Structure 1
Amino acid sequence: MASGVSSIYTGSDLIHDYICSKCEEDDDLDIEAQHFCPQCENYLCDKCVRVHGGYYKKHTVYGREDIQKWAMVSLDKCDQHGDKLSVHCDDHQEFCCSVCVALNHRLCSSISHLSDLAKGFLKIAEFKQLPAAVDNLRRRLDELRMQE
């Protein structure tokens, strides 16, 4: 899901916060996105939003004025195939969908179902300490911000 992260246009110092998903996917272009469709989970440039609007008339598309609604990156879908992530390849240390397993991880020796890995996770000490650690980091960031 490289579409939602910053990138640098090849051969230029131009940096985009969000890249048009369709331009990047279809033409390998880094065109700045001006719109986001949460139903499709795609960032869209002005050209692609017109095409999208023709196909998906009932989709709600957010512009730059609603950028706070753009942070809807799906963490449970495969970047390559769009399928739900269901397993973890322990050999490669990566999450995979069933298509990834069939194509790229057939010979791997250790593949774990995510539901099995998640069992007991809420009881792990590190997980229980996470809220306090986040609060501590937030306080530290606030302190640093005030020093500026």
Structure 2
Amino acid sequence: MATGFSASVLNAGDFEYDFPCTECQEHGLNSEAVYFCQQCYSQFCGLCVKQHDRFYQKHPIIGTEKNETWGKVKSTCKMHPGEEMTVFCSDHRQTCCVTCQKELHGQCQLLQHTSPKLPPRPSSVKIGETNVNAQCDLFPLKQKHDESQMKPWEICAVSDNQVAISTERKAILFFNVNNSKLKMDRKLKLFHDCDHVSYLADQLYVASNRTVYQYTLTGQRVRKMDGWDMWGFALNPDGNRLYITDFDNNRLLTADMHGRGLAILADEDIKGPTGVCVSPCGKVFVCGSHFGTIIQIDSEGKHKLSIQATKEDRVSSPLSVYFDIRTSSLLVGQSDDADLLVLILK
């Protein structure tokens, strides 16, 4: 059983605070907020709140002991202080402000304006199926001079034309994809198992047993986070939160990128959680394999928002789920079905 959260951090870099100081952000600084003004609707560090109190002595202030009641304060851009991070670039898999969009993402094709609100369950779910045995190129995963196969575990896209595949042989394989043809590019040999792999903002995240490792694309280890029983995991678009499915204990665990526990969600509809994914807008979807459900969770990992699909929608034993930004749909892989279930959210 998971006894808690722990972490070993190497070259952690700048801290990503769950509650950043609003005033510091507007001046390009990075500090943790310890106070919230209910009238200004802003978060303040210890220094900034003193300046605030000089001018607004009668404003109601609450501390961290009640931070669950703080309002949702949007993150602002470090390059352009004061501008909110309201755009998600799927090409670079990162959020940015409108100015960054114009200056740095002018050639990017997949840009989406994010919304701070998560929608309720759609009034209808359009269901479809696609055959996963569609015609495609096959590439045998065999070592040179070795007849034993390297069984693939998981796949993720690292660019528009390249994918990374985790294998049972403690390696990540990179393939270039062109016109449905696969061409081996390179192999990243690691010292641990590679059960799951995910990509975000030029970084690889690889799960091995109870540990998630963060690597650069060249294989340099950045940090490791451990202490969980996990089936699968997903990253939020901002790269500051991990969602981990704990199958044996029927829980969704949420942690920051330093391995610190943020939330544990155990719900009657989350039985046998397997796959988990996050949309570019931060919507979290979890597979409940025992009851055949797809559940939407709030971005903090604390509350169930809705049941998006059930057995009535042909969900039976879901193992994996992926949000397709192009069609605004959920792609669900199931253990007892050779077809991929497509749930188009309306």
With the length of structure 1 as denominator, give the TM-score of the two structures. Answer: 0.48
With the length of structure 2 as denominator, give the TM-score of the two structures. Answer: 0.25
Whichever structure has more strand as a proportion of its residues is 2
Whichever structure has more helix as a proportion of its residues is 1
Structure with max Cα Rg: 2
For CA contacts below 8 A with separation 6 or more, give which structure has more relative contact order. Answer: 2
